[in-house]
Every structure is written in C-alpha cells, then in structure tokens.
A and B are shown apart, each in its own frame.
Chain A
C-alpha cells in the first residue's frame, strides 16, 4: 500500500514563559545566523515537550482522528504535519500536497471584501489565479455568503466568516487535508455540508487528519484514531476502540477531579449505591436488553415522615434519558431510623451503546427540595448490537404493504 504520511519519533518543545520565548528566540536566531544548531534536541530550563516521540504511519485514503484533552499536543502535531513548524527531533515524510484547516479565516483582511479575500486567501493556500477563477462560484456557493460577497469581511457574522474560510480552504483540493476543530463553529446545516464535503474527499481517496473533541464525529468519520495524552501517543488503532478508551479515561479523570454535585443532610445519609444484574452480582457493564438493578443503601438519624426517592439516567453529554421519582407512581417511602434500602429495577434496558450516569436523590413528598442528592452516583456501560441513532431503541414493529 501507499504510505501517505510517515511520522518517526517526532518531538516538539515549547517555552513556558514569554521571557524564555524571547531569550531562546534571540539565541536560536543568532545560532541559525551562524549556522550552529545548538541544543535543539535537549530541553532547556523553562521548556517542555509539547509533542514527544510520536511515531505512526498513514496510508493513502485513510481518515485519521486525533483526539485528546486540551493541551495534549494535537494542534502542534497537525502544524508539524502541515510544515508550519519543523520538529525538534525526529522526521516527517509526506507524499503529496497538504492543506490545512487549522484556523479558517486566518489571513483575511477585515477591510477588504469577501471577493478580494477569496483571491488573497486562495493565493496563500497556493492556488493560482486561473484555478481560483474556476473554483470561484463553487467557493461562493459553498460559503453561502450571497449578497455579502462585495461587503468588507469585518461586517460578516462570525458564521459567515468561518464558512468563507472553510470554503476556500477545502476547495484547494489538497491530497492530505488537515482539519483542526473547525467544524465546532457554524450552524448545523453548514456542519452537515462540511461533513458531506469531507466524505466526498474520502471517496476521492484523499488522506484526512481530523482533530476534534467531538468524539462521536471521530467515530463516524475516521477509520483509525490516535489518542494523544501529554504529547505522547496513549493509544492508536481502530477509531471506535480508541475513542471508547479515551472516553473512559476522560470520564474517570473527571470523576476524580470534580466533586460530583452532592447535597448533604445530617438526617439522611446515602451509604452506598450499587448496580447489579438479575442474579445480584455487582456489575458495571451490561448488554442490550438485560435487566439492571440500582440498589441504594441509606440511613436516617431522625424521623422524616413520608419522602420520595428520585433517580435519573443521563448520557455523558448530559442528555436526560429518563427521570423518575417514586411519587409519580404514588409510592412514598416511610424510612425507619437506621439503615434502609431502595431497589430500582429496570427490566429490558433498550439503550444504545455508551456510558450512562445515574443521579439519585431523596426529596420531601412534593419532590421539589432534596434532602440528599448525589449527581453521578453510579455509571453503567451498555453494549448494544444496534447501529441506529438516538439514545435507545423504542419498541417497534414494521407494517409495510403495497396499496
């Protein structure tokens, strides 16, 4: 197979402070003037590796997702692939012309019109005037700036600005396209148009690098993914596996970092929340259609009277799947002093694959103010064979016939 990009042991260092940037900037420039290449390979004080020892190779026609937390080195890696920076260590081999959507609209002059900026930006991306003339109407169509074509771009809405930038960059037809988080801006229709365009490029056999925090789009667009953590590759492989691993990691770190929202009370204390299967074994991973039990142990230190118990299930994107409380079904708890228990049974869970969170709480009988509330009290991971979209599979039957 044809190798499009080969990255070998690539590292890049940055300075932490502006002072060091200036000092090293001057000494590096001076060293460059004198033809010395001093200390490029070691860290000096105040420097750190933004990308360290990254190695991978990519074949023609692949779409590679690059994921990781903020500051994990994704953009730096992309800029090195684009040739904006040279790696301090290691080497990058690229066959073909690279085009980058790193910051669309970079190089726009605010005083000039959209039309003028199209020609300037296209020239910056290396397109000739004749090519730009040929592509002009396509660019304008794609950007959808319409009547504003001859208005200065400083009067554009931020969406139009980005659309125009994206339209120019993507119409330069690079062999290797680098996309850095640009789809996050722009409205849904534009986003869909971009994704459509990216899929076109995939069909034409272009190699694409796609940096995103939107992990679902990585799963959908990419064949393989690289997960960067602190500048090094944490995992590389099939995009689904890598995204899941990264997702789990980010979530576990979030739990450690954040104090999941808790409302405490002296009189009612939640002791333990466990997820169990039908046989009473504690489990965190379930298959589609299984029965899930949530067991909540709590104790009270003073009589409370009648209370309700509420539980909600949300996705990791904070979309509520189902929020219920016992009062809705006319059930009121009457806990006694000491240890009590609530057991919730969810038979036949029809959720799609993913990680879901339980929030639980005890409320006074109107279910408005919690005595005791615990967000993200437990998580479950569901594996489902269904590839449909949405949150769950609704019970359904098909009735098709000719009339």
Chain B
C-alpha cells in the first residue's frame, strides 16, 4: 500500500534526514559572527517594534493576561515555527540543486530536514521566553509547558504539509518563494500573533476560519492563561493532519517527475 511505502521510506531515511539537518544547521552559521544569536535577535526586534507602537499609543492592546513584551515574543516565536519552517521547506528542493537530478535518494528527507530548522529556532527562542518569564517573575506550571509544546505539533504538521506542496511548485515556478513571503507577511499581520483581536470585528470574523489563529493562541494561552478555544483547535488540527498527509502523498508520487524539471 502506498501509505506503508511512504512510511517505510521515511523510516529508512532517518539517518539521511539527520545528516541533512546537521549539514544545513552547521552550514547556516559557519561564516557568521552572531551565529545562533540571530534566532533570538529576530523575535526581539519584531516584538520590540510592536512594544514601541503599543507604548506610544499607535496600537491599543487590551485584554491580555501577561506583560505585553512576553506576549509578543511568545507569539512571534510560535509563528516562526511556521514561517521559518515553511520558507526552509519551500526552498529545500531548489537549493539542493544538481543533487536532486543526479542522485537517487528519498527527496522527502530534504523537506523534513529543512522543516527542523523551524524547530531549532523555536528551541532557541524557548530559552529567550524562559528568561523573560523569569524576568517578570512569572512561573508557569511544568504541566502547562509540556501541554503547550504538545499543542504546537499540529502547527508543525501544517508547516511540513504545506512545505511538501510548495517545494514542488517552487521547482517549476520560481516566483513561489516571493509570493510565499508576501502571503506570510499578510497572515502575520492578520492573525492575532502580536496583538489580540477584539471580538465582533471583521478581523475576528475572518480569524474564526483561520487555523493559524488557534495554532498560535491556544498554546500561548495555555502558557500565560486566557481562554483556549479548544473545540476549534481540534478541528484545525484535523485539517492540519489532512494537509500533512495529502502534501506528503503528493510529494511522494511527484518526486520522480520533479527531478527532470529542476
């Protein structure tokens, strides 16, 4: 059966995925001074801008249960699991270059290894978040932290699922990456990542149908307290699982076709 073959391929390429991940990771920071610190600088910068906007009254942020900088950093960190991962996945096949056309190996390894970049970034940012919690003297219970991490899994699956599909499209049409970044920017501003949305507004209505809303806010609310729309979260998770499976399956079927188009 196809699904079984897909799983067998995935299992047999564990080592390759690890090697590719190590390769990407060590090559990424090899010739840079700040190296891994960039993973911390980026969310601080984005959040910083919003903190300044909030303090100067451009944004009116109300109804959150923790200091705003903490809220913003957590939000942007969770978001980047999606945005960094998706970007890395979408580029992975194109970046692999001639190797895709010249060597026969499970190409899905490239996608999964690339998606791990988002996890690494989140992991590093986890340190930042922990430091900020300590700074503000807030200590969430261990149980909440564990649940929060588990609740991020659907977001990761959604990332990889879209990553599979976008990486294929990016091989054929190179505009994909530009369009992807525009869409990611639009979604970052639309989704309540850096600010809560007042109910009974147009944006709130739109976000009711935006699974990213639940994927960011439910884990965050578990961490900092606040209402978790758990019902919608499960529905969104189901959709994410479906997208993951469909993306993976399409990728598996298309990988021999892609080698000749690259």
A residues sitting closer than 8 Å to B (CB atoms) are 14, 21-22, 25-26, 28-29, 32-33, 79, 82-86, 98, 100, 102-103, 106-107, 109, 111-112, 116, 119-120, 123-126, 128-129
Contacts and interface: CB of A to CB of B under 8 A. Distances in A.
Given A111-B30, A125-B105, A25 B261 contact: yes
Given A119-B19, A120-B23, A123-B16, A106 B103 contact: yes
A125 B256 contact: no
Instruction: Kindly name the residue among B27, B104, B254 whose own CB sees the greatest number of chain A CB atoms within 10 A.
Output: B104
Among A86, A106, A112, A116, the most chain B Cβ lie within 10 Å of the Cβ of A106
B250 A22 contact: no
B99 A124 contact: yes
A103 B168 contact: no
Given A14-B260, A84-B102, A106-B98, 7 more contacts: A26-B169, A29-B254, A84-B101, A85-B256, A106-B99, A107-B99, A123-B15
Contact of B261 (A21, A116, A129): A21
A32 B15 contact: no
Contacts, number: 89
Contact of A100 (B23, B103, B259): B103
B172 interface: yes
A135 to B, nearest CB: 15
A100 B168 CA distance: 24
B65 interface: no
Interface string B10-27: 000001101110110011
Contacts of B254: 29, 32
A117 B9 CA distance: 23
A125 B260 CA distance: 19
A28 B23 contact: no
B138 interface: no
22 contacts: A25-B261, A26-B172, A28-B257, A29-B257, A32-B250, A32-B257, A84-B101, A84-B104, A85-B256, A85-B259, A86-B257, A102-B102, A107-B99, A107-B103, A111-B27, A111-B31, A112-B30, A123-B16, A123-B20, A124-B19, A126-B16, A128-B15
Contacts of A85: 256, 259-260
Given A29-B168, A107-B96, A120-B19, A84 B26 contact: no
Contact of B172 (A29, A86, A116, A120): A29
A82 B104 contact: yes
B92 to A, nearest CB: 13
B172 A124 contact: no
A123 B19 contact: yes
A132 to B, nearest CB: 10
A212 to B, nearest CB: 17
A109 B23 contact: yes
B137 to A, nearest CB: 43
Q: Which 5 A-B pairs have the closest CB atoms?
A: A25-B172, A107-B99, A123-B19, A106-B102, A103-B102
A284 to B, nearest CB: 43
B173 interface: yes
B104 to A, nearest CB: 5
A158 to B, nearest CB: 15
A86 B173 contact: no
Given A26-B173, A82-B104, A126-B105, A103 B98 contact: yes
Nearest to B30: A111
A283 B253 CA distance: 60
Contacts of A107: 96, 99, 102-103
A100 B31 CA distance: 32
B208 to A, nearest CB: 28
Most chain A CB atoms below 10 A, which of B23, B99, B169: B23
A79 B16 CA distance: 21
Nearest to A112: B27
A304 to B, nearest CB: 60
B203 to A, nearest CB: 32
B30 A22 contact: no
Given A120-B20, A125-B103, A125-B105, A21 B27 contact: no
A123 B257 CA distance: 23
A128 B22 CA distance: 15
Given A29-B169, A124-B103, A84 B15 contact: no
B102 A33 contact: no
A282 to B, nearest CB: 50
Interface in B237-262: 250, 253-254, 256-257, 259-261
B15 A129 contact: yes
Most B C-beta atoms less than 10 A away, residue of A28, A119, A123, A128: A123
